Structure 1
Amino acid sequence: MPEISVRGLEIPESPIRKLAPLAVAAKGRGIKVYHLNIGQPDLPTPQVGLDALKNINRTVLEYSPSQGYQSYREKLISYYKKYNIDVKADDIIVTAGGSEAVFFALMACLNPGDEIIIPEPGYANYKAFALLAGATIRTITTTIEEGFALPKVEKFEELINEHTKGILICNPNNPTGYLYSRSEMEQIRDLVKKYDLYLFSDEVYREYIYTDAPYTSACHLEGIENNVVLIDSVSKRYSECGVRIGALITKNEELRATVLKFCQARLSPPLLGQIVAEASLDAPEAYFRSVYDEYVERRKCLIDGLNSIPGVYSPMPMGAFYTVARLPVDDCEKFCRWCLNEFSYEGETVMMAPASGFYTTPGAGYNQVRIAYVLKKEDLERALTILRKALEEYPGRVDEK
């Protein structure tokens, strides 16, 4: 039998999805599973988006332009303007989700052997896309004890060498919920400018910021306009994960032309997804307010509940709808597997994402999990009760002395 590629063997499994077969098996045994592992909102998609999908009157479902429909890109200008992000339609390339935007950006900007700096813990698929581009990830470690705040600029500079090509951030952050301050963003800007690096900024959670501090986009940073690549998606802001529509935005014309070649090779972004996403831009402000208010309540419910469990600690996330929590266990991946394979409480269990998969440093995050508060409060409260019971029964519990 022919051998599998080295690339295929090296690419990591998703910490978010790799335990999915265990969840399926648990459900097959009649166990109810509370999914805290994945950022799949349960809140409704805007009605205007659903109506657009129901009322499609095309007789042919055609290819769209490789860069996405002009009408959608034109309409996005007003959306970004609400966040003081000044773009033209030609600055925007529509992608098949934010994931494709990250992948195309790294493929267009990095050569094999180049290095990219990513704060850890970070979104697990960044590692996969960097490997596919032949690049090496250098991580700048943030800690749960410091609320996952960025280290001082000197820590970044220790990692920069002749192979360094860029810095990739997620703001607000997945998996930690951390929100980068204006001063932190300016610190990154100064590094990008000093060493002429790319700044890849994944900003798909900008709607969900739980502080009065102003939101700072990479596109707000002066003097590095041609270095910035903004990654976006409709998945989270409209509960439209399945339509697979994202965007890559940059003022860098040469980079856009290069990315477009990758877009042409994959032909076009999803037609139906663009129809839904374009219509969803007309969602009323009341929709966004209700969704935001719901996440505020869920965040309080989850974090208060986690920190009331003996041995558990989670900082208060300032954005997105995730948190990383430290558990009193020997190994969180073993614990998460045990919850699905061997444990249930009154016929129910919980599924979480082991946080070690969001770190590149071996051994880091072994006693942490990422939890998404995308379930209604009643389900979160029930999941917290189950987690408390699981920690009481888990044979690998480790209490601090």
Structure 2
Amino acid sequence: MSEYNAVSATNTKNAPKFDQSSQSAAFSHYNNLSAQLPIDPATGKLVEGGIKAQAEQNFKNIEAVLESVGHVMSDIVRISVFVKDIQDVDAVDEVYKTFFPTYVPARTTVAAALPMDALVQVEALVSHGEGTIPDAPQAGDLIKLSNNTSAAPVSNLSSQTVAFSHYNNITAQLPIDPATGRIVTGGIKAETVQSLKNIKAILSGIDVPFDDIVKINIFVKDLKDMDAVNEVYSTFFPDSSIARTVGYVPARTVIQAEDLQMGASVQIEAVVSHGDGTPPQAIEDRHGIVIKAHNTENAPVDSLSTQTVAFSHYNHLSAQLPIDPATGKLVEGGIKEQTQQVLTNIKAVIESVDHVMEDMVKVNIFVKDLADMDAVNEVYATFFPEGTPARRVVGVSALQEDALIQIDAIAGNAEGTPPEFK
């Protein structure tokens, strides 16, 4: 672990603050923002009004956080929108356009249960050209590179891919046939094929191999469909002969969404390594900076995902369920015991690559019952006593293995992946 591995966490009184998280956790060339609820920071309560009023407050909170660290809305590379009712997306989009009148980031939209019974929650990933590592090379006014291809669905509300520094952020892909603009027919397998084909087309449009993906997030309407999804998924990963030789598969999270746009059954988003960097970074050979995938027997191992995938200055961790790696079964007990096991698994994974929990910049919590969050937070505070990482909490109606909680995370990786930062 590098001595420079310091997360820069900040908070402002102009946006809601929670003890369990920082509003913004910057590391290297990215700023990870906590998901914002439509809370008026002056009152600490949800704003009055309907979906438009709540969406506007979400974006105002994000804007306030960004301004407090010297950034603006156009520095955002990815937006994730969680709505209680998928039918409210049109109203959210109406507000969204006023905050992104020209440039649009990559985007994911999902229906889920939300804390405080909010109608909408929004989070952002932000470019951070100045970086956080002292004397790191190529820090400065890096530019974003956004791209769209007609070989995948195009939307005026998002860019298919936004690259910044050494990562490419891909908009979540619905199973839309770009030739017709409609969801493909044929059921869950056909939809999964189309979603992954769309991602592959987007990457081909920027000359990036499919196996450069470091993290996949799969949103399904019904977890019972995951066997069929996995059957298709296994035909896409590994993709190249090199990846097949080493058995490389990305880190992965699977979430049951309350609903998806256009009546889709599945939606898939991807985070992709970008060895070339973005100007004025020097163009490096794509295989000069390498992906480092790692598994440890001290946490549950899954043939369809790698526990942690590092590239450049970030480590992406697969979602952890409350499974005891010694037995391969869910731990006994309730929400506290399950939260303890999930975070113990995450700790085991990050320590297996010579990092510590203090290196975490973002934590995503998926909980079956939002009423359990007080108990979750009680355990969470023992692992993150300073509440440094940015955080997102959403409610889901079901989790794999019938678990009560699932957590994934992103950690800073100051030492980088070869060629290493010295």
In the superposition, the TM-score normalised over structure 1's length comes to 0.28
Decide which structure has greater strand share: 2
Decide which structure has greater helix share: 1
Bigger-Rg structure (1/2): 1
